[in-house]
Amino acid sequence: MPATSNARTPHGDGDWFAVMRFRYLHGVALTGGLLIAAGPGACSQPTPGQAASGAAARPLPFVNPIFADNVVIQRGKPATIWGWSDPGDTVRVQIGANTATGTAGADRRWVAKIQPPAPGGPYTVSITGHQSVELHNVLVGDVWLCGGQSNMGLPLRFTSNADKPSRSDRDPGRRHQRDLLCAAGRRRKDRHDEAGHTHA
């Protein structure tokens, strides 16, 4: 039977520890160097509704892009519509015979609260200030927000009654928008009929 010993080899654990320590310190130094080279603004995020600084800055939209053609506005309560314009600009919003105004502040943000007309439609929403925008085919009705995890992404074709037509499939007033929130809390758009950035 060969003799056994608990003695460690002279270069075993010590060499492994030295290599691992070198790799760790090398990674820390490399990360620090990259952050210093990128500058102090590399990790900063603009406040929601605020333009990013520097070359990457994009102009803020006159009307927030969540308000678009084919949108549904909740019935029976004032709708809040907002966007950005030149400070001091008075923005007028009109839906049917109803109007409301908002004034852009120093942060360029304007907000208008408007009472929607009777449920139904379609309506045209006119928004005018230093710029003008019209939203077409707008309905007034009930807005449902559904939330969840992977169950909310389950296609109907995988359900037990997928072969039966849904009553909502025959409803011409039904609208659907799918917005996904990523883990970092930033809104990720997954909408096939709209492009551009979102500030909310």
* pLDDT 10s digits, 140-190: 999 887 777 777 777 777 878 777 766 656 666 666 555 554 444 444 443
**3-state DSSP assignment of residue 180:** strand
- Is 140 part of any domain? yes
Instruction: Return the pLDDT at 42.
Output: 47
- Is 20 part of any domain? no
Instruction: Return the pLDDT at 112.
Output: 97
Identity of the residue numbered 20: M
Closest among 111, 93, 115, 114 to 102, alpha carbons compared: 111
Instruction: Return the pLDDT at 141.
Output: 92
Domain of 156: which CATH number? 2.60.40.10
Quote the pTM value.
Answer: 0.57
Give the count of domains, the chain: 1
Under 8 Å between Cβ of 51 and 58: yes
Instruction: Return the pLDDT at 56.
Output: 54
Low-confidence ranges of the chain (pLDDT < 50): 5, 7-10, 42-43, 45, 52, 54-55, 181-200
Sorted by sequence, the CB contacts under 8 Å of residue 21 that are 6+ apart come out as: none
- Is 199 part of any domain? no
DSSP code for 13: H
Task: Tokens 């070359």: give the residue.
Answer: 55
DSSP per-residue string spanning 16-66: HHHHHHHHHHHHHHHHHHHHHHH-TTSS--PPTTSPPPGGG--PPPSS-TT
Under 8 Å between Cβ of 153 and 121: no
- Is 14 part of any domain? no
Identity of the residue numbered 35: L
Dihedrals phi, psi of 35, to nearest 5 degrees: -65, -40
- Is 17 part of any domain? no
- Is 74 part of any domain? yes
- Is 11 part of any domain? no
Domain assignment of residue 89, given as a range: 60-189
Q: How far is CA 26 from CA 19, 31, 34, 71, 159, in A?
A: 10, 9, 12, 53, 52
Q: How far is CA 120 from the centre of its chain?
A: 28
* Interatomic CA distance for residues 17 and 22, integer angstroms: 9
* Interatomic CA distance for residues 113 and 94, integer angstroms: 11
